Amino acid sequence: MNNKQQYYKWVEMGIITTQTPEQRVEILANKLLEVLYTPTEKKGLFIPDWGKIANLGIDEKEPINWADLKATVELKGEIFVVTIDEASPGACETLCDYIEKYLVAWGWTNVIVKTEW
């Protein structure tokens, strides 16, 4: 369930009773970050999948700590502010665009994505 319309339908039906909209957006943003990794037997559990990262339009040269990316979401009025931790503030445009592109496509149109260390 990624779609905003479906989320609100399930809330109305009583299927979702404890998850807030910002929690849902946070889950989706973190799932989008997880997609950028692949499992490995040699180094840690997961490593960046550079081919996938490039195919999704993310510039691998952006100043990003690929070992520890995570997203948090805060609702400010009607706007979902997605903050990606462990990426240089204002210097990771393609990473922010990637997250925003999919959230908007899934109906979460009032989204701003930013980065911070």
* Segment 23-53, tens digit of pLDDT: 999 999 999 999 999 998 876 789 999 999 9
Q: Using alpha carbons only, give the angle 115, 91, 38 rounded to the nearest 5 degrees.
A: 65
Q: How far is CA 70 from CA 34, 65, 85, in A?
A: 9, 10, 5
Q: What is the pTM of this model?
A: 0.92
* Segment 73-83, tens digit of pLDDT: 999 999 999 99
Pairing between strand 79-85 and 37-39? unpaired
